[in-house]
Amino acid sequence: MCGIAGIIANNAKNYKEELQKMTDAIAHRGPDSSHSEFYDNAALGHRRLSIIDLSETGKQPMFSFTKKECIVLNGEIYGYMDIKNNYHDYPYRGSSDTEVILAMYRRKQENLIHELPGMFAFAIWDNEKQQLFCARDRFGEKPFYYAFGRNNEFIFASEIKAILTSGLIQPKVNQEALSHYLQHGYVSSHQSIYENIHTLPPAHQLILKNGKISVTRYYCLPVKDRVLNLSEAKEEFNYLLKKAVQKQLVADVEVGSFLSGGLDSSSIVALVADFLPQQTTISFGYDHAESELKYAKEIALKYHTAHIEVHEKKKDLATSLLKISPFFDEPFSDISFIPHFEICRNAREKLTVVLSGDAGDELFGGYDFYRVENLLRNHFSYKNIIAKFGLRLYQKFRPVSFLTQKNLEYENILDFHQNFVRNSFNKEERTALGVSANYQQSFSFSPNTSSLNDIMRIDLEGYVPGNMMVKSDRMAMANSLEVRTPFLDIDFAEFCIQLPENLKINHENDKIILREAMGSYWTENIRKRKKQGFGMSVKSWFEEENLIKLSDDLLKDPAQKVFDYIDFKTTQKFLNENHKHWNLLQLALWAYNNQKYL
């Protein structure tokens, strides 16, 4: 795991100072070393977090054996040794996964991307072609941003702050991205908060040649569900998940696991035990009756792990926010980012690499709102014009159920999912705040408006890269920690995506396939568990005096930078110590942190 940066421009050696500023800005992503290499028209920089091939032969930027190509990579190529066997004719100098990509490029050029697994964002400068080839992994685990500078330089980096620090661009706020943030609490993975700084979307590649770029999608989610029974599904599920975990344990440093005590992380820890004599597990919890720590301890004891518990300490939230929020570079309002930062910080005291159970909910149908959507589409009024007409008349005289109300309000479960689930400000509220732009992310497929599997696919292309992977990457890298996600192994993820809905969720149960395939690995208490978060509430946080003071400083002062983008008077109506208030506070923090650039 590392940080990458580059400037493609004539006389690239003249940009040494700018490139150094860029790599210095992302030193937290790679504290072990810093290197740069220069061609006539390309400058490449790298910050290294040493995990595979700790020797000098693993350092980047890395030249091919001809020195006609040079790569900078952020990420890990799982199963790279098997790939290496298919490219044995390349004269390798070291044992890193990075060099395998160079071997693939020498033979297949840009077509290498179709057989490259793992989490990655990379750039290869081909000096003979005078071309830059870049790509980002399928699920957006690793970030990649780019922009054109004032003198038409092409600039790229792992984080926006590196591009801003170069001094080569004056950013302009993206009104569509601002609207998406206010609605969903994060910026879409197809945009950045700035209209002139772009993100390379997940599953896309970019080619720069003669000053022009071409961005194309190289991968689409499988859209056809498979036909198989529970017995067949369990067998294949176990085989593919074990294989995914085994591949992600490859490292020249110790690999540990996050352990929440939930079904997903407990499954990962259980399977790691098949391959390692002992593992380190780490849990974060709040000290109250519903804390997850007791469940995590059960699994730790069952598998004899070296277990670390991180207990929530009553801290000054305002100080934490001011410390942590700059790592995002964009407004971000997921309330779990503070505990996520803390567990990563504590993990880094002993570990460099940690496995995570992220994305299980999207693959197995684990969220409660999937169950609600299943009930909605089975309600007698769903897409029934006559029933809806009658119910609209009826509700004028009698209260109706939540399901009836939402079926009247939304056209279908896809409409409900996109405009109710995880939504903060609706269109009218955003307009009142002065943000009239709207943005709807495109997907690699045309969703069936009544398909739960397609809604899960939308979350895999929207929420997972835009929120979950951003939180995971930024909070881990802020602490120089690599987090790996076995559930997003391409073979395993594709299998889960294509599972029939009835093997994921029904009226009584969620995560049916996981419960059936992995239940014997858990304790009885965990088998009975329902999904639980970190156990905090925004309302309780706003009881803290220092947080209210920070909010007042940022949101009740019309001179604050945030009010260049939203209306001050309307904002005051939303300061009700709830999620909308939290959303606005994070927006104000972003504007405050970046005011020197805005």
Work out the burial of residue 513: count CB atoms within 10 Å of its CB; fewer than 13 is exposed, 13-18 middle, 19 or more buried: buried
With b meaning 16 or more CB within 10 Å and e meaning fewer, what string describes 181-198?
A: bbbbbbbbbbbbbbeebb
Phi, psi dihedral angles at 449 (to 5 degrees): -70, -10
331 CB-near residues (< 8 Å, 6+ apart): 178, 181, 186, 187, 193, 586, 587, 589, 590
Q: How far apart are CA 499 and CA 239, in angstroms?
A: 15
Phi, psi dihedral angles at 300 (to 5 degrees): -60, -40
Determine contact, residues 40/9, Cβ cutoff 8 Å. no
Determine contact, residues 153/168, Cβ cutoff 8 Å. yes
Q: How far apart are CA 269 and CA 300, in angstroms?
A: 8
Mapped to the 3 state alphabet, what secondary structure does 130-187 carry?
CEEEEEECCCCCCCCEEEECCCCCEEEECCHHHHHHCCCCCCCECHHHHHHHHHHCCC
What are the DSSP calls for 407-429, one per residue? HHH-SSHHHHHHHTTT--S-HHH
- 194: which DSSP letter? B
Q: How far apart are CA 385 and CA 441, in angstroms?
A: 29
Catalytically annotated residues: 2
- Amino acid code (one letter) for 402: F
124 bridge partner residues: 71, 133
Phi, psi dihedral angles at 190 (to 5 degrees): -105, 0
Give Cα 571 distance to the centre of its chain: 29
185: alpha, beta or left, given left = phi > 0 and alpha = psi -120 to 50?
left
- 31: which DSSP letter? B
Determine contact, residues 585/554, Cβ cutoff 8 Å. yes
Give me 438's structure tokens: 């709207």
259 CB-near residues (< 8 Å, 6+ apart): 265, 266, 269, 281, 282, 283, 296, 299, 300, 305, 307
Q: How far apart are CA 13 and CA 360, in angstroms?
A: 46
**Which is it for the CA torsion 387, 392, 397, 403, positive or negative?**
positive
Q: How far apart are CA 160 and CA 195, in angstroms?
A: 12
Give me 130's structure tokens: 């005078």
